[in-house]
Amino acid sequence: MKISTARRLAQIFFFSVFLWLVLVASVGTGWTQWRGWPIAWFLQLDPLAAVGTALTTHSLHPGLAWALVTIVLTILFGRVFCGFACPFGAIHQFVGWLGRHVRRPKDKMAANAYRPAQSIKYYLLAAMLGAAALSVGNAFVGALQTGLLDPIPLVHRSFNLVVLPAADLAAGSRFPGGRYATGAALIGGVFLATVLLNLWMPRFYCRFVCPLGALLGLFARRSPWGIGKTGAKCIECGLCDVDCEGACNPMGPIRTSECLMCMNCLDTCPGSKPLAYLPRPSQGGEITDYGVTRRGFLAAAVGGLAVAPLARIGGARTGWSPALIRPPGSVAEEEFLARCIKCCECVRVCPTNVLQPATTEHGWGALWTPALNNRMGTSGCQLNCIACGQACPTGAIRPLTLGEKEGRGDFASAGPVRIGLAGVDRGRCLPWAMERPCIVCQENCPVTPKAIYVSEIVQTVRDGVYEVDSADGANLRLRNARLSPGQYASGDYECKLAGDDRGRAILANTGDTLTVDTASSPPGQVAPGSAAEVQIRLQRPVVDPALCIGCGVCEHECPMNGLRAIRVTADNETRDPGHAILLAPGVAGNRSLSPT
């Protein structure tokens, strides 16, 4: 078997594994569901995720140790990850092949010539790692923005939020209501652009943009094995460039850091086969620099370094967005941004689709990080669910147990994990502001005892003061009344007569007559001309901040369809003690939170 055939089979294999792992990433125990599949495996293999988070947090998150496998293989054998394993690379190579197989060898050789612009990816890497590197004590936490362009999170994000939901939409099979992602146009647009650029130039993204490729290029620079010349006679025909994926000039001197290990040159090299995969150095010479100037590299790194302090000056700490609700188990915001690689695995596995990729509403740094949008999804953050934390490959969302999330067992004294706090907008709430019964929010509050309780009030309705014209048992005829029949018959209205200390339930009404309940207390003599007030009994929702966990079911269910009359903000979220609002946490009114 030719080595390029083996490479193709490896690409098909790894791409299939990738596809399987994103396909099964939905909560469930079936074998086509998450079950125990290592859905974040490719993300854990990603050295840029490991290096980036190591720079920002000064620690290596356990699962990311997989990246060592990639790094060691790269140090020894060159960028075999790019050529054999990278699922994004496989897409690029396939689309590039589709686009170029009609062209003449001369054009293909020209397209695959090395270009100085291939150094751009190293500058991008320098800027990103520079931004990540500036973690100085408590003053600054570095900004991790590798996820914007890191191909592994990028391809996961694209498949999780755009490609698979689009397939779902078309097939209508997996999720009854479909899956939605805010800003899908941007996520999908970036993905499409990177893929379609292969039609113009093969492996465009890998050659010019990919910061992971740049990082692996650093590791591959002096790899003991690689593509090189054996010393056999080379007629310098240039045919090795025809299908060269990396544009690394295999005819020599080869640019070792650019070589993607596609092995195509070994096939197209004619005659006495002067090219081989061999212990290096190559007899044809090697270029081990990256086409990067010292001045340019410093400029990029310093530019990156400035990101964190600039974000700080921009008010990232004091001006935090109260609308930013992070999933349960999230670490405090600064560390969250230092860990999140924007892969959107959490968004994908969220069973209610309430977890959404942020656009820029919470600041540029939060782009494509997970945030709850309670108006979207099927029903807020589900009480009995810890999927997002289990899916997170970098510890931005801690893997909670159900006990910790709900504050049971060992966590009873800590109480449940709060992701925010609901607040009633009394200017929009139907019973508070508009004299109409509702309390849908109270009904749906999943906490026990309910974090939303009701304050009951009886108030006279608009134009509700009448004079009794005549009374006949339960029927009160009103003077000058023009009611619409049944208007007060919903069971929420009462009629308070002069002398009564409380109203009687109205059972029915015609245009001018009320029928009131007389079973509980028979009416006394109602004198014509005496006052009768139509009153409404309203239950008005009130939130107990000691019980509310911020799950957002209330906000999702609120019938004020546009701007909801009850909304969750990040106030009182557990993850940041600085956001606490209560004097004595853990005490709900006069109730203790831990049942005895």
Partner 1 sequence: MNEPTPALAPDPATTRRAFLRRSLEAGAAIAATGGLAAWLWNRHPPGTLGRGAPASLMPDFSVRDAGAKMAIVTGADRVRTLRRALDAMGGIGRFIKPGDRVLLKVNAAFAAPAILSATTNPELAAELVRLCHAAGASAVLVTDNPINDPESCFALSGIGAAASAAGATVVLPRPGDFAPLTLPGGRLIRNWPVLHEPFRGVTKLIGVAPVKHHARAGASMTIKNWYGLLGGRRNQFHQDINGIIVELSQLVRPTFVVLDGTMSMLTNGPTGGSLADLKPTHTLVVSTDPVAADSFGATLLGRTSRDLPYLARAAQLGGGTTDYESLRPARDDVS
Is residue 480 a contact point for partner 1 (CB under 8 A)?
no
Site string for partner 1, 9-48 (x = CB under 8 A): ------------------xx--------------------
Q: Which is nearer to partner 1, 29 or 413 (CB)?
A: 29
Please compute, for residue 457, the number of CA atoms within 13 A of its CA located in the half-sphere on the CB side.
13
The answer to the question of residue 272 lying near partner 1 (CB under 8 A) is: no
Closest CA to 548 of 518, 503, 504, 580: 580
Distance CA 1, CA 63 (A): 35
The set of residues, in sequence order, having a beta carbon less than 8 Å from that of 40 and lying 6+ positions away, is: 21, 63, 343, 345, 391, 392, 393
CB of 29 to partner 1, least distance (A): 9
What's the CA gap between 104 and 101, in Å, rounded? 8
Q: Is 438 in the site for partner 1 (CB under 8 A)?
A: yes
Q: Rounded distance, CA 344 to CA 487, Å?
A: 51
Diameter of the chain measured on Cα atoms: 122
| Residue 287, both tokens | 């270029």
Segment interacting with partner 1, rule: CB under 8 A, options 81-89, 280-288, 320-328, 556-564 = 556-564
For partner 1, which residue of 62, 176, 427, 589 counts as binding (CB under 8 A)?
A: 176
* H-assigned helices in 373-516: 387-391, 402-406, 430-433, 440-444
Cβ closest to partner 1, residue 314 vs residue 559: 559
Find the shortest distance in angstroms from Cβ 554 to partner 1. Answer: 11
- Is there binding between residue 519 and partner 1 (CB under 8 A)? yes
Stretch that binds partner 1, among 276-284, 325-333, 348-356, 465-473 (CB under 8 A): 348-356
* Residue 449 in the binding site for partner 1 (CB under 8 A): yes
**b/e sequence 546-559, b meaning 16+ C-beta within 10 Å:** bbbbbbbbbbbbbe
d(CA 202, CA 235): 26
Judged by CB under 8 A, the residue of 193, 443, 563, 591 near partner 1 is 443
Could you tell me which of 180, 52, 208 has the C-alpha nearest to residue 123? 208
User: Least distance from C-beta 392 to partner 1, angstroms?
Assistant: 20
Is there binding between residue 475 and partner 1 (CB under 8 A)? no
Kindly state whether residue 383 participates in binding partner 1, applying the rule CB under 8 A: yes
514 interacts with partner 1 by CB under 8 A: no
Collapsing DSSP to helix, strand or coil, 327 comes out as: coil
Taking the least distance from each CB to partner 1, the nearer of 480 and 592 is: 592
| Binding flag, residue 557, partner 1 (CB under 8 A) | yes
Q: Encode 30-63: b = buried (16+ Cβ within 10 Å), e = exposed.
A: eeeebeeeebbebbbbbbbbbbbbbbbbeeebeb
Structure tokens at 325: 């609700």
522 contacts partner 1 (rule: CB under 8 A) = no
Q: Is the dihedral of CA 280, 281, 283, 284 positive or negative?
A: positive
Smallest distance from partner 1 to CB 453, Å: 9
Does the protein bind partner 1 through residue 436 (CB under 8 A)?
yes
Residue nearer to partner 1 on the CB measure, 257 or 382: 382
Residues 6+ apart with CB under 8 A from 457: 537, 538, 540
Q: For residues 172 and 315, which CB has a smaller minimum distance to partner 1 in the complex?
A: 172
Q: How far is CA 444 from CA 247, 481, 528, 547, 556, in A?
A: 59, 38, 46, 14, 10
Among positions 220, 385, 565, 568, the unique one binding partner 1 when judged by CB under 8 A: 385
Q: Two tokens at 398? A: 């801690």
List the one residue from 490, 499, 511, 591 that touches partner 1 (CB under 8 A). Answer: 490
Given the complex with partner 1, which of 95 and 385 has the nearer CB atom?
385
CA-to-CA distance for 21 and 35, rounded, in angstroms? 11
Q: Confirm or reject binding of residue 103 to partner 1 (CB under 8 A).
A: no
Q: Give the binding range for partner 1 (CB under 8 A) out of 109-117, 326-334, 436-444, 459-467.
A: 436-444
The tokens describing 82, both together, are 């790019």
Q: Which of 446, 464, 523, 585 binds partner 1 (CB under 8 A)?
A: 446
Least separation in angstroms between residue 512's CB and partner 1 is 20
Under the binding rule (CB under 8 A), the answer on residue 181 touching partner 1 is no
Q: d(Cα 47, Cα 43) in Å, to the nearest integer?
A: 9
Number of residues in contact with partner 1 under rule CB under 8 A: 47
Q: Does 538 sit near partner 1 (CB under 8 A)?
A: no
Could you tell me how many residues make up the chain? 596
- Binding residue (CB under 8 A) for partner 1 from 558, 568, 570, 588: 558
Name which of 285 and 559 has its Cβ closer to partner 1. 559
Closest to partner 1 by CB, 32 or 360: 32
| Residue 182 interacting with partner 1 (CB under 8 A) | no
Query: Interface with partner 1 by CB under 8 A: which residues?
Result: 27-28, 172, 175-178, 351-353, 377-379, 382-385, 430, 436-440, 442-450, 454, 486, 490-492, 505, 507, 519, 539, 553, 557-559, 561, 595
